[in-house]
């Protein structure tokens, strides 16, 4: 089958992703074989492209956010039938979805409602699951006493979904950060109650809005360099949840307030076999809320054709650090 892959880790100026013929995916007992119809492209994949090389004689196929149609059902994959329209993530220890077909654990896949297009469905899984697991830590709810949440990086894929999930599922006051006018407008459209500029003094902006401190900060970018500022924004015994705590970070600024630090890695459940089926349920709820108009898909850029050139365009946009919402490539 046709796929996009590369051999050696590389920077964008030495772009090496190319179209190639590869073997068909090998199904495990709990897998679905999915014909890919659209893929979401994520900053994490650009990072992996620049740092992970293939084993000698091998190749790397990235991509872990997709929509498509079920072609085959493994003997232990329950709840799905051939022909189902589905969306999901995958497993970073296996080949990804930048290919015609994908073998994927059924427990991280959900059906797509008929009224949801493939392009829109492919914009939801990574951001939706990451945001959900980052903020809903207590039986799918916010931690007790959390009435205000600051989302740092509100216009990105994860931030966009976090704002929407918080507004759809809680009564929390949601503050988002963005710097450009178009990203501020996007955050407002996602439902943020207040948008502040992360290139300016956040404390002063919150003071102006009559907000002394917040109960939770969800940091999607720049966590390590912003820890001191985050510590000042959070109330004592507040909550910091982050998806980019690496590189090694000095967490001492948050210790004096006994702030709880949570980390989130969207693939942790399937890699560790820890309740991965919960992700299928989350995706199904997100899809329902989108269909009923309580949330919206975040496909802000659409590219037609899973080609090496389109993937390069997507990575150029990602590395510009000026993307809003999600880039989706329709196969």
Which one of 263, 281, 299 terminates a domain? 263
Q: What is the pLDDT of residue 139?
A: 75
Q: What is the pLDDT of residue 5?
A: 98
Q: What is the pLDDT of residue 57?
A: 94
Task: Name the residue among 156, 282, 135 with its Cα closest to residue 218.
Answer: 135
If asked whether residues 25 and 150 sit together in one domain, one would say no
If asked whether residues 135 and 253 sit together in one domain, one would say yes
What values do phi and psi take at 320, rounded to 5?
-75, -15
Q: How confident is the model at residue 94 (pLDDT cuts 50, 70, 90)?
A: very high
**Beta-sheet pairing, 101-105 with 31-41:** antiparallel
SS3 at position 178: coil
Q: Is the distance from CB of 216 to CB of 150 less than 8 angstroms?
A: yes
Q: How confident is the model at residue 331 (pLDDT cuts 50, 70, 90)?
A: very high
Q: What is the CATH number of the domain that holds 165?
A: 3.40.50.720
Q: What is the pLDDT of residue 2?
A: 98
If asked whether residues 141 and 81 sit together in one domain, one would say no
Provide the domain count of the chain: 2
Dump pLDDT digits (tens) for 243-287.
Answer: 998 767 788 999 999 999 999 999 999 999 999 999 999 999 999
If asked whether residues 120 and 131 sit together in one domain, one would say no
CA atoms of 274 and 212, how far apart (whole Å): 38
Boundaries of domain holding 137: 127-263
Say whether pLDDT at 113 is over 90.
yes
If asked whether residues 305 and 277 sit together in one domain, one would say yes
Which one of 263, 297, 321 terminates a domain? 263
Q: How confident is the model at residue 137 (pLDDT cuts 50, 70, 90)?
A: confident
Q: What is the pLDDT of residue 248?
A: 72
If asked whether residues 167 and 257 sit together in one domain, one would say yes
Say whether pLDDT at 328 is over 80.
yes
Say whether pLDDT at 147 is over 90.
yes
Other C-beta atoms within 10 Å of 21: how many?
7
CA atoms of 58 and 69, how far apart (whole Å): 27
Gyration radius from the chain CA atoms: 20
If asked whether residues 98 and 220 sit together in one domain, one would say no
Q: What is the CATH number of the domain that holds 39?
A: 3.90.180.10
- What is the DSSP secondary-structure string of 247-311? S----HHHHTTT-EEEE--TTHHHHHTSSTHHHHHHHHHHHHHHHTTSS---EEEEEES--HHHH
Q: Which two tokens stand for residue 241?
A: 């949840």
Burial class for 247, CB neighbours closer than 10 Å (0-12, 13-18, 19+): exposed
If asked whether residues 40 and 153 sit together in one domain, one would say no
Dump pLDDT digits (tens) for 41-60.
Answer: 999 999 999 999 999 999 99
């Amino acid at each position: 089958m046709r796929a996009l892959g590369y051999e050696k880790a590389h920077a964008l100026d030495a772009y090496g992703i190319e179209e190639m013929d590869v073997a068909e995916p090998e199904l495990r007992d709990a897998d679905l074989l999915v014909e890919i119809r659209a893929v979401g492209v994520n900053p994490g994949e650009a990072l992996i492209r620049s740092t992970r090389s293939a084993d000698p004689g091998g190749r790397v196929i990235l991509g872990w956010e997709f929509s498509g149609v079920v072609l085959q059902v493994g003997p232990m994959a329950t709840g799905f039938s051939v022909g189902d329209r589905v969306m999901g993530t995958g497993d970073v220890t296996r080949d990804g979805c930048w290919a015609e077909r994908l073998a994927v654990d059924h427990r991280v896949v959900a059906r797509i409602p008929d009224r949801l297009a493939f392009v829109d469905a492919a914009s939801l899984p990574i951001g939706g699951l990451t945001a959900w697991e980052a903020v809903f830590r207590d039986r799918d709810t916010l931690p007790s006493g959390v009435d205000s949440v600051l989302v740092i990086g509100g216009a990105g894929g994860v931030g966009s979904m976090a704002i929407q999930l918080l507004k759809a599922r809680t009564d929390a006051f949601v503050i988002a950060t963005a710097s450009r006018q178009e990203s501020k407008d996007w955050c407002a459209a996602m439902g943020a109650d207040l948008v502040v500029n992360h290139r300016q003094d956040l404390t002063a902006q919150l003071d102006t809005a009559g907000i002394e401190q917040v109960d939770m900060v969800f940091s999607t970018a720049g966590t390590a360099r912003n820890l001191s500022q985050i510590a000042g924004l959070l109330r004592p015994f507040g909550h910091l949840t982050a998806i980019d705590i690496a590189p090694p970070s000095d967490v001492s600024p948050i210790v004096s307030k006994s702030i709880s630090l949570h980390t989130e890695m969207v693939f942790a459940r399937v890699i560790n076999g820890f309740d991965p089926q919960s992700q299928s349920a989350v995706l199904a709820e997100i899809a329902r809320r989108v269909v009923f108009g309580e949330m919206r898909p975040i496909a802000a850029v659409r590219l037609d054709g899973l080609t090496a050139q389109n993937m390069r365009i997507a990575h150029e946009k990602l590395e510009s650090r000026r993307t809003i919402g999600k880039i989706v490539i329709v196969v």
